[in-house]
Structure 1
Amino acid sequence: MERMKDRVDGLEAMALSLARLGVLGRSPAAPGTVATLAAGIPSAWVVAQLPYGWACLILVLLFPAACWACDRAQQILVKADPGEVVVDELMGFLVTMIGLPATGLSLLLGALFFRLFDIWKPWPVNVLDGELHGGLGIMADDVAAGLYAHAAVAFLLPLLERL
């Protein structure tokens, strides 16, 4: 059972809620996949409706807030990179989908490739995962996995759409 500090104040509760994406991180099975599907897909669709510059600004603003929330959650839960911290999956999936059309096919490919690269952790994703710590460490490997997934979707999507 995870240990939490005796008292969680309002700011810490907010950080924990953001890091868990509300209740999504408490999913008993595959919380990262649940967060990608339940929060990532709708969020990516909304962000895709914005001009590219605004979409990039959202990601730039989300990153430090998510790093902070991940760092605080890790301290509150007294556990390094807790599985219930899933805001990193949201960020990684948004990186996967930025600048791509939000169609059923692209969102499905994005979710599949993002989860593949996030779980597999090819180089340098595995280096970021092992060497960085705290909130930045939790976030960085998912952003890197998102970059790999973005490249895969951007490459495959036009080919599959021609079929």
Structure 2
Amino acid sequence: MPKLNWFNPIHWLSLGFGTGLAPKAPGTFGTLVGIPFVYLTTQLTWQWQIGVLLMATIIGVFLCQYTAKAMGEHDHPSIVWDEIVGYGFAMFALPFEAVWLIAAFILFRLFDIWKPGPIGWSDKKLTGGTGIMMDDVIAGILTTAILHVAAYLF
């Protein structure tokens, strides 16, 4: 991995405050960093949650593109801002409770790893910061949809 400027806040955010540098499962560690982000967003109304998630996505497109360019590699595994935001989508309008946090975490990570359907399509077809962000955003949206249906049925 090329040397990054650790004093550059863009790299620091893109790498999930350093968690993306975990030698194994950096995406999982990056998702764990999403828990405080989720806590903050679950304190908001659903309308504000959408606004924050959309803003974090737009900012993420630029953060991830900038860091990927500096690293010379599209979607390097250490770039985990997309996992943080994707997990935020996964927990959209759900209570900040252990059962939801764990269910969303597991389902989101499975979708992000396996990349079924539209997740895989976006991962293969979209480029730049948009490509880095969108597979995780879609994984988060599918996760939250499934969890909201489960909450309704049970």
Distance 2:141 2:55 in 1: 18
| Structure 2 residue 124 is matched with structure 1 residue 125 | no
Match of 1:24 among 19, 23, 28: 19
- Match runs of 1:65-104 below 5 Å: 65-104=59-98
Paired residue for 1:51, among 45, 54, 60? 45
Distance 2:41 2:58 in 1: 18
Q: TM-score, normalised by structure 1?
A: 0.88
Letter in 1 for 2:66: R
Number of equivalenced pairs: 154
Q: CA deviation at 1:42?
A: 2.0
2-structure distance, mates of 1:119, 1:73 = 21
1:117-150 Cα shifts (integer Å, max 9, x gaps): 1111011111100011110000000011111111
Output the amino acid matched with 1:18: L
Cα deviations across residues 142-162 of structure 1 (Å, max 9, x unaligned)? 011111111221122455xx5
Q: Is the 8 A contact 2:112 2:136 kept in 1?
A: yes
Gapped runs of 5+ residues in structure 2? none
* C-alpha RMSD of matched pairs (Å): 1.7
Pick from 131, 135, 144: which aligns with 1:141? 135
Could you say if the C-alpha distance between residues 14 and 157 of structure 1 is closer, same or farther in structure 2, counting changes exceeding 3 Å?
same
Unaligned runs of 5+ in 1: none
Other structure's SS at 1:124 match: helix
Task: Find the aligned partners of 1:61 and 1:130 in 2 and give their Cα distance.
Answer: 24
TM-score, normalised relative to structure 2: 0.93
Is the contact between residue 34 and residue 84 of structure 2 (CA under 8 Å) also seen in structure 1?
A: yes
2:2 paired with 1:3:
yes
Residues 20 and 84 of structure 1 are in contact (CA less than 8 Å); yes or no, is this contact kept in structure 2? yes
Structure 1 runs of 4+ off > 3 angstroms?
A: none
Q: CA deviation at 1:4?
A: 4.3
Rg larger for:
1
